[in-house]
Amino acid sequence: MKTETHVERLRARLLGKAGTERPDAQASALRAVSTRVKPGPEHYDFAQFPELREYTSTRWYYDKQGYEWNMFREHVGVASAEAEVAGRRVINFSSYNYLDLAGDPRVQEAARKAIDDFGTSTGSGRIIMGEIPIFAEFEREVADVLGVEDAVLGVSGYGTNVATIGYLARRQDLILYDELVHNSMLTGAKLSGARRFAFAHNDYDALERLLVEHRGHFERVLILTEGVFSMDGDIPDIHRLIEIKKRHHALLMVDEAHSMGVIGARGLGVVDHFGLNGADIDIHYASMSKAFATIGGYVAGRKELITMLKYYAPGLGLYIASPMPANAAAGLAALRIMRAEPGRARRAVDNAAHFRTRAREAGLSTGLSDGSAVVPVMLADAELALWMSARLFDNNVFAFPMIFPVVPRDAARLRFFINTAHTREQIDRTIRLLVELKAAAPASKGLF
Ligand SMILES: Cc1ncc(COP(=O)(O)O)c(C=O)c1O
């Protein structure tokens, strides 16, 4: 007698008795689409995918304008206030290295030691055989800094946001997000299948209206915001968000990629800046590629939340290899320096304040930026942003243009990440150049 294999049992569960698809809504929707499509090369030849046109038209524009291609530029050495990019020594405003720790000998030594002790990979997921003491030490210290019970370290910043939101929210849940939250939060929200509504940037009345109208129709409600907004450099009113989320029995998640290690009297993020009780934020998140000078992401909060994420969240605890020992060790060393040397964060924030003051005195708009180390210089359109960035680079200053789709079409800008190692002279020289270049800029041709 033939015995059924586990693959056959699985297939039988997925298919109806007669071996056809179950007539669920998704399957019939898929069939309906497929009957109308006549496959052409645009469906199987990558060279004909419309997405590629975004790239080819951008390249065409650069060629036409005679700009050097500015993407994937190689640098050598450590990128901080200065860097060597494409063979040029530049004043660098395009690295997230807020605390100048990526080249710090203590951080580098910790990473080296982790490689000596554990190799370059744990070779396994944490649950199975990938656990090393550094992960738990990092998690304990992050939880301690934030005043919460526990934390979990993930391999990637982007992935940790996606995995956390994708895991916690379900079809019967609602996600309300500030319209300017990072793409990794949006991707997690889409993946979750929950109902999603954006509220206008920092518009707490709009958030309140959405809650009044919709709260009653959903089980879990997640409110997503950032500690410092990555494109605009402003800080939301976290006290107000906490008050709102408590009143509506919602959960608040704050992305501290650009606030942890930077804002607050001790540089320890929104908890420090607003004098919060850590437990008032349900889900603390940060990417480790900024002040932590490494790569990865963490989530911190109540121990029950962390247990679920560690054991069951795909892409965070489950179905993913452990972080690299050297990355976690670098992050832990950076965290310890962050705590011991709060002057680093203060200098970054003071340098940024100096940049904003000088820029505004010179008639440049720094948009919403306030209190953080992210400073945009707003420009009329994408063409001007690209032209200004190219000319700055010719003058040994590296600030990357931010244009659609990463910002709205009418909100092109140059974005400056200010760090603790920038000097006032570097900042003043950059502002002078910006003013001169802006005055000399050609009129836009409406090409972009
Ligand atoms: C606000 C914010 N969240 C999340 C991320 C993702 O972090 P990572 O790039 O380290 O994966 C970024 C990265 O730029 C970010 O700016």
Q: Tell me the per-residue pLDDT of 397-434, one tens digit each, with 9 for 90 and over.
A: 999 999 988 998 899 999 999 999 999 999 999 999 99
How many Å lie between the centroid of ligand 1 and the Cα of residue 157? 6
- What residue type is assigned to position 418 of the chain? I
Token readout for 328 is 């976690």
- 296 C-alpha to center of ligand 1: Å? 9
pLDDT > 90: what percent of the chain? 86
* pLDDT (0 to 100) of residue 5: 77
Three-state secondary structure call for residue 377: strand
Give the chain's end-to-end CA distance (angstroms, integer): 69
CB of 158 closer than 6 angstroms to any ligand 1 atom: yes
Residue 2, pLDDT above cutoff 70 = no
**Tell me: the pLDDT tens digits for 156-168?**
999 999 999 999 9
Please tell me the least confidently modeled range out of 23-37, 116-130, 172-186.
23-37
CA–CA distance, 48 with 46 (Å, rounded to integer): 5
Task: State the closest ligand 1 atom to the C-alpha of 258, by its place in the atom list counted from 1.
Answer: 1
Residue 197 has pLDDT above 60, yes or no: yes
For residue 390, how far is its CA from the centre of ligand 1 (angstroms)?
25
Nearest CA owner, ligand 1 atom 16? 230
Nearest CA to ligand 1 atom 6: 158
CATH 3.40.640.10 in the chain is located at 105-340
Looking at ligand 1, which atom is closest to the CA of residue 289?
10
Q: Report whether residue 430 contacts ligand 1, using a CB cutoff of 6 Å.
A: no
Residue 397 CB contacts under 8 Å (≥ 6 apart), including other chains: 90, 91, 93, 429, 430, 433
Give yes or no for residue 31 having a pLDDT over 80. no
Tell me, what's the pLDDT at 265?
A: 97
Confirm if 80 and 95 have CB atoms less than 8 A apart.
yes
Instruction: Check whether 252 has a pLDDT greater than 90.
Output: yes
Decide: 255 in ligand 1 pocket, CB within 6 A: yes
The pLDDT of residue 27 is above 90: no
Question: 245 CB less than 6 Å from ligand 1?
Answer: no
Q: Give me the pLDDT at residue 445, please.
A: 76
- Helix, strand, or coil here: 260? strand
Strand ranges inside 116-234, DSSP E: 150-154, 174-178, 195-199, 221-226
Four-way CATH pick for 105-340: 3.90.600.10, 3.10.150.10, 3.40.640.10, 3.40.50.150:
3.40.640.10
Using CA atoms, how far residue 205 sits from 107, 154, 166, 209, in Å, is 44, 34, 26, 6
Mean pLDDT of 90-113: 98
Q: How far is ligand 1, taken at its centre, from the CA of residue 134, in Å?
A: 22
Q: What is the mean pLDDT of residues 114-142?
A: 98
Q: How confident is the model at residue 15 (pLDDT cuts 50, 70, 90)?
A: low
Q: What is the CATH number of domain 54-98+342-440?
A: 3.90.1150.10
Question: Above 50 in pLDDT, residue 18?
Answer: no
pLDDT confidence of 20, banded at 50, 70, 90?
very low
Q: Output the CA angle 185-186-191, nearest 5 degrees.
A: 100
Point out the ligand 1 atom lying closest to the alpha carbon of residue 226: 1
Return residue ranges of the chain for CATH 3.90.1150.10.
54-98+342-440
Q: CA-CA distance, 372 to 29, in Å (whole number)? A: 47
Ligand 1 centroid, distance to 156 Cα (angstroms): 9
State the average pLDDT over residues 90-107: 98
Q: How remote is the CA of residue 365 from the centroid of ligand 1, in Å?
A: 25
Task: Give the separation between CA 398 and CA 93, rounded to whole angstroms.
Answer: 6
Amino acid occupying residue 367: G
- 3-state secondary structure string, 294-359? CCCEEEEECHHHHHHHHHHCECCCECCCCCCHHHHHHHHHHHHHHHHCCHHHHHHHHHHHHHHHHH
Mutational test site, ligand 1, from 164, 230, 285, 327, max ligand atoms within 8 Å of CB? 230
Residue ranges of E strands in 138-208: 150-154, 174-178, 195-199
